[in-house]
Amino acid sequence: MITLPILFEDGEALVIDKPAGLPIDRPRSGGTSLENYLDALRLGFQRLPLAVHRLDQDTSGCLLLARNAKAHKRFAAAFEARQVEKVYLGVVAGPVAEDEGTIALNLSKISSAEKGWRMIPARAGKPAVTHWRVVERRDGLTLVEFHPETGRTHQIRVHALAGLGAALLGDPVYGGGPVADAPARRTMLHAAALTVPREGKPPIVAAAPFPADFAALGFSCLPTT
């Protein structure tokens, strides 16, 4: 197994740089998941750390872990109250005309025998808000910085398609084709930075390095936090 880089560490929290391809939960078919690394991530503490939020298997970058149940509860409440600042980078598989904006589209889960489950914009869905700005344009692709206010499942992936007019590069669900047909080996989404406020303590602040597969597409810009 590879070593997971640690971006932030103190007595109640860890932020790791999760690699693309590593699932948070163990797949039903078996295989490596975050669970395989938890014992090594104890770093001398008695309890195994607990993931506070979710990142899709393909998504790389900042993942917050709590060292104990009380800290997990506080951090989860901060996410629920929209107090956590999150910055993502995504490569949109097409041109984006505007330079910045806000996407407010409610999201709902649907399922079919042909396509499985996915999220769609729907008036009756849960509110979802994403602020965005273009970082760089190159060869028909657009590097976009996303600041999600809410944390709905697949929020940025659906908002990219419905709000910006093109899916994230390599997205097999919302991009209209399998990853193998795209010039990318995964859905190109990266959790670039995370700031979690804490009462009576300095905030948790972490930033993940710019991914090599983003750079391989010719992009070089880093996010602002």
Catalytic (active-site) positions? 56
The values of phi and psi at residue 184, to 5°, are -160, 150
In which residue are the tokens 């690394």 written? 37
Residue 159: enclosing H or E segment and its boundaries? helix 155-159
Closest by CA position to 125, among listed 110, 109, 106? 106
Closest by CA position to 47, among listed 65, 30, 22, 23? 65
CB-hemisphere CA count at 13 Å for 51?
18
